[in-house]
Amino acid sequence: MRAFAVPLAVSAASLVVAFSASAQDLASGRWIDLTHPFNEDAVYWPTAEMFELEEVFHGHTEGGWYYTAYNFSAAEHGGTHLDSPIHFAEGGLTADAIPVEQMIGPGFVIDVRAAVAADVDYRVSAADIEAFEAEHGQIPAGAIVLIDTGRAGLYSDRAAYMGTAERGAEAVAKLRFPGLGKDGAELLVARGVGAVGIDTPSIDHGQSTNFETHVALMTNDIPAFENVGDMSALPPVGATIVALPMKIEGGSGGPLRIVAHVPE
């Protein structure tokens, strides 16, 4: 369970070196929001509680000033969100315990859109990652790896995005979307990455029944970001990713605001 202890130490050190050597000027360049909005149309697992916004007050008070307030409720795992390691690893890091430096780092965006277009159940393999590295260099410790399947554009159509718009336990077997394969996850563990994100509802492919990719990552204290937004404007390398989830004490995940800074 503590197999990630050494890579995490390396990860933190490598981030310091990377940013001190080539720190980005955040006053220039572009910021890209990779977060889907939380609303009644947000994508949640078929068995999870959907997002709901309840109006408490909206309008002018008796005192004459304008005031608005809402209550919201939702499952941890839905919309653009974090899977913290404890989600699939007994004793793993909870949402509030993941080091901030593990969720801020150099972005490496692996484009598998062509493969996914030919196979909705595609699983990103170690060979895919090695092919990316052959072109762009080895993924360093502390990197945040994002997998671009091209499916973020389907997000507003739940049936197309998930394979089914049905709700309930029986709908889970009908899910169809790509994910990261176990051997790909194991290679990223070996690289000591900080986190892995994907533009689908799960880091495992939709037809998974054993969630082996979740297990491979999270037993090594590597969190996942799911339902990430459109990555088409991101370069393969060179961006900085900032992914800060709601700090839910003891949480297995939570809503995530993830953005990328792309230098000029």
Residue 184's alpha-carbon distances to 74, 110, 225, in angstroms, are 31, 12, 16
Residue 27 has a pLDDT of 84
Residues 6+ apart with CB under 8 A from 133: 139
State mean pLDDT over 200-220.
98
Q: At 146, which helix (H) or strand (E)?
A: strand 144-148
Q: Confirm whether pTM is higher than 0.85.
A: yes
For residue range 86-144, what is the model confidence (pLDDT) as tens digits?
999 999 999 999 999 999 999 999 999 999 999 999 999 999 999 999 999 999 999 99
Cα atoms in the 13 Å half-sphere on the side-chain side of 112 = 33
Instruction: Please name the amino acid found at residue 6.
Output: V
Stretch 28-46: mean pLDDT: 97
The Cα 201–Cα 162 span in angstroms is 7
Residue ranges covered by each domain of the chain: 30-36+76-262
Give the residue carrying structure tokens 């947000």. 42
Three-state secondary-structure class, residue 51: coil
Angle, to 10 degrees, between the axis of helix 126-136 and the axis of helix 182-191?
Answer: 40
Q: Distance between CA 209 and CA 215 in Å, rounded?
A: 12
Q: Which of 84, 24, 7 is nearest to 241 (CA)?
A: 24
Evaluate if residue 8 carries a pLDDT over 90. no
Question: Sorting pLDDT into bands at 50, 70 and 90, what band is 36?
Answer: very high
Q: DSSP state, 64?
A: S
Strand 224-226 relative to strand 253-262, pairing: unpaired
Instruction: Provide the percentage of residues in the chain whose pLDDT is more than 90.
Output: 89
CATH of domain 30-36+76-262: 3.50.30.50
Rounded CA gap, 226 and 195, in Å? 11
240: β partners: 106, 261
Length of the chain: 264
Which amino acid belongs to residue 5?
A
